[in-house]
Amino acid sequence: MTRVNETHAPDLRSWVGSANEDTTDFPIQNLPFGVFRRRGSSGPFGGGVAIGDQILDLAAAAASGALAGDARDAAVAASRKRLNDFMAMGPAAWSALRLALSRALRTGATERGRLEGCLLAQRSAEYALPAAIGDYTDFYIGIHHATAVGRLFRPDAPLLPNYKWVPIGYHGRSSSVVVSGEPIYRPLGQSRAEAGDPEFGPSRRLDYELELGFLVGPGNRRGEPIAIGSAESHLFGVALFNDWSARDIQPWEYQPLGPFLSKNFGSTLAPWVVTFEALAPFRAACPRAPGDPEPLPYLNSERNRASGSVDVQLEVLLQTEAMARSGLLPARLSRSSFVEAAYWTPAQLVAHHTVGGCNLAPGDLLGSGTLSGPHPEQAGSLLERTAGGRQAIALPSGEHRTFLEDGDTVILRAWCERSGARRIGFGACASTIHAPKRAP
């Protein structure tokens, strides 16, 4: 777990002016990584770092002579069309590049002359997935979400007996994870509202899930579990993640082996990955209720108890087609917080995932599961926000929503703020719902 260092100093300023604005997600204390190219280009994607409203092109930066040694080697690895090679290098390389970039982008840095030509405005960029995702696992660590969903099925015992022992997770579909901005097609599928034969058609209960995605760093060999004490060094960073869900397909298909078509039609990952080092000022204890069991030893460490979680604020916004046409801004549907929502820490997810010998690889994605607070206005999904579709949400356009309609755009945002630290943000994770392309 990386400590606070000079790169986090709240008074650092950058010669990239927009990085010093109060409202930016990307001050010099953040320096998240992504993969981009000039919008409309047919050239290859390459790694970059967000700074204010600009992107520092890492291939150009490495070639400019502004970086040296380990930082330059890391920038070369990070300049490829996906960040996997850089993710595989581990914390020392990540940290060397962060420190070098922090120094080179500061006000007064002598590298300014060489780096000014390496910037591209974010408004002129398009993005690809930051990593080639070999495997995607979705966890279920949002305890208020698990409780709210469980209550629909088991009012007296909403949480299953394993919940506070096992970081519940399942394997997701990696091929349909797309970067923010890509369309999401409403899935066709079977559902059964009542007893009787199932129906087939487009999902009528299409939902989002507000999640954080953790991108794996070096990973492990098959048969070699990662101990809790070193687990976080195998996580490169964090990005906003929306695990779209078809709530009518899910109940009919999911017994006994879990969700399948209700989830695998698409998931949206934000373009910017905030490193764990950038999150150092915002670490927090994972709250436990009195009487909760002590985690088993493979999930337990003093440091994990003290500061295994991260204080990330989250929100969901919705903009319908009609709202966009009328010039209405996206409306906030809910606000939530990772530290309040998450029963398990990122390190515990790594330790659990590998304890049986499963191998993680650089670029693998671990979703947190839906991050809801205990109250409806903190819900990370419409299922919870509308009480299972029974309480429609009124929108500024006069429209109402229980579940998503075609043309709706869902935008996830997140940020960290704490006194004595510079606020950092995660950018946006947004996709628009499209009608199914064609019936089969």
Cβ distance to a second copy smaller for residue 154 or 418: 154
Say whether residue 183 binds a second copy (CB under 8 A): yes
Q: Of residues 113-142, which lie at the interface with a second copy (CB under 8 A)?
A: 134-135, 137-138, 140
What distance, in Å, lies between the first and last C-alpha atoms of the chain? 49
Positive/negative CA dihedral, 410, 182, 388, 144: negative
Write the DSSP assignment of 320-380 as a string of letters.
-HHHHHTTPPPEEEEEEEHHHHBSS-HHHHHHHHHHTSPPP-TT-EEE------SSGGG-S
Judged by CB under 8 A, the residue of 112, 204, 252, 307 near a second copy is 252
Binding mask 142-161 for a second copy (x = CB under 8 A): --------x---------x-
Question: For the chain, what's the residue count?
Answer: 440
Say whether residue 171 binds a second copy (CB under 8 A): yes
The answer to whether 236 and 216 have CB atoms below 8 angstroms apart is: yes
Cβ distance to a second copy smaller for residue 293 or 420: 293
Cβ distance to a second copy smaller for residue 166 or 328: 166
For 316, the token pair is 């969901």
The answer to whether 277 and 95 have CB atoms below 8 angstroms apart is: yes
Cβ distance to a second copy smaller for residue 224 or 377: 224
Rounded to a whole number of angstroms, the minimum distance from the CB of residue 320 to a second copy is: 21
Cβ distance to a second copy smaller for residue 52 or 363: 363
Q: Which helix (H) or strand (E) holds 228?
A: none
Judged by CB under 8 A, the residue of 10, 116, 152, 165 near a second copy is 165
Binding mask 273-312 for a second copy (x = CB under 8 A): --------------------x--xxx--------------
Q: Of residues 32-91, which lie at the interface with a second copy (CB under 8 A)?
A: none
Say whether residue 249 binds a second copy (CB under 8 A): yes
| C-alpha to C-alpha distance for 46 and 65, rounded to whole angstroms | 18
Q: Of residues 398-417, which lie at the interface with a second copy (CB under 8 A)?
A: none
Positive/negative CA dihedral, 234, 228, 348, 421: negative
Contacts with 120 (C-beta within 8 Å, 6 or more apart), sequence order: 36, 38, 48, 54, 55, 57
Q: Of residues 352-381, which lie at the interface with a second copy (CB under 8 A)?
A: 352-361, 364
Q: Of residues 316-335, which lie at the interface with a second copy (CB under 8 A)?
A: none
Positive/negative CA dihedral, 197, 200, 204, 206: positive
The question of whether 171 is a catalytic residue gets the answer: no
Judged by CB under 8 A, the residue of 156, 175, 289, 302 near a second copy is 175
Tell me which stretch binds a second copy (CB under 8 A): 207-215, 232-240, 377-385, 431-439.
431-439
Q: Locate tokens 């976080």: which residue? A: 232
In 209-350, DSSP assigns E strands to: 210-216, 235-242, 245-246, 267-269, 274-275, 283-284, 309-310, 313-319, 331-337
Binding footprint of a second copy, residue count (CB under 8 A): 76
Judged by CB under 8 A, the residue of 3, 123, 222, 390 near a second copy is 222
List 8, 145, 234, 353, catalytic entry: 145
| C-alpha to C-alpha distance for 259 and 251, rounded to whole angstroms | 8
Cβ distance to a second copy smaller for residue 30 or 372: 372
Question: What are the catalytic residues?
Answer: 145
